[in-house]
Amino acid sequence: MSFSSKVKAEIAQVFGEHRHCRIAFLSAIIYGTCTISNGNTPANIEPKTDNTHVLNAFSNLMNTNIKNSVLKKSHDSIIAKSCCKRAYLRAAFLCAGSVNGPGKAYHLEFTANNEQHSTEIQGLLRSFGLSPKSVYRKNKFIIYFKESDQIADVLNIIGAHKQYIEFEMNRAEKEVGNSINRMANFETANIDKSILAAVKQIEDIKLISATIGLDALPNQLQECAILRMDEPALSLVELGQRLLPPIGKSGVNHRFRKLAEIAKELTTNKTNS
């Protein structure tokens, strides 16, 4: 499976937690792949694509009330919230996006069928501090990135967190390789370490889950483990803010050390048995 396919498989079921996000998600599908015939009504909207992910998402979101909301609401109101902007971009990428896999030349793009949709996608990307470039090619409007840091940001924004980590891991390895020749600065090394730490945490949690199950953990460790699996890209500070009650970075780090100790003990026991 290509890296693009893995990204799309990951985001295909992430419509959004709230109804307004699902409206934004469906709106992007309609703008990107659908034709409307015989009147502007839900029954006359039909996606023109063979993309299985898009067809499944369209089918799952074909609730009439949601469709009516897409048609009745102004486009600006549909994408007013930050979470809805993310949902819209997620669906836009699902419909007509691609990204090169780690190890290849950096390139991520969205394709739009018309200039208006292209302008909307670019505006949403800029609202997150990104700087997309665009080109008109073969009757299509292409919005693209070639900077690795911005590609990583797009993957994070659209919710492809697992592939974001894979991308960042590969980028970190490249940076480390280059740093040997040019002596990378301390800040870059710290960024690399945080990515590697997140991957190690996920590996420990998966081992515990497969061996004794997360239910066997104390509540505080279980909560932290589940949150890390759900949000692999968050920093320790951000994770701590999501916990109930919130805790500081050192507290989150302490919990992950406990999880690492449990994983190590399980590995040792398995080796000795």
pLDDT tens track for 162-185:
888 888 777 776 665 554 444 445
Write down the pLDDT at residue 173: 67
pLDDT tens track for 213-269:
888 899 999 999 999 888 877 888 999 999 988 999 999 999 999 999 999 888 887
Residues carrying CATH 3.10.28.10, the chain:
3-157
Q: How confident is the model at residue 271 (pLDDT cuts 50, 70, 90)?
A: low
Residue 196 or 4, more confident: 4
Q: Which CATH number fits domain 3-157: 1.10.10.10, 3.10.28.10, 3.40.1440.10, 3.20.20.70?
A: 3.10.28.10
**Residue 69 pLDDT > 90:** no
Beta strands in the chain (DSSP E): 34-36, 45-47, 97-99, 108-112, 133-137, 140-145
Write down the pLDDT at residue 1: 80
The backbone torsions φ and ψ at residue 79, rounded to the nearest 5 degrees and listed phi first, read -110, 30
Write down the pLDDT at residue 190: 54
Residue 187 or 8, more confident: 8
pTM of the model as a whole? 0.64
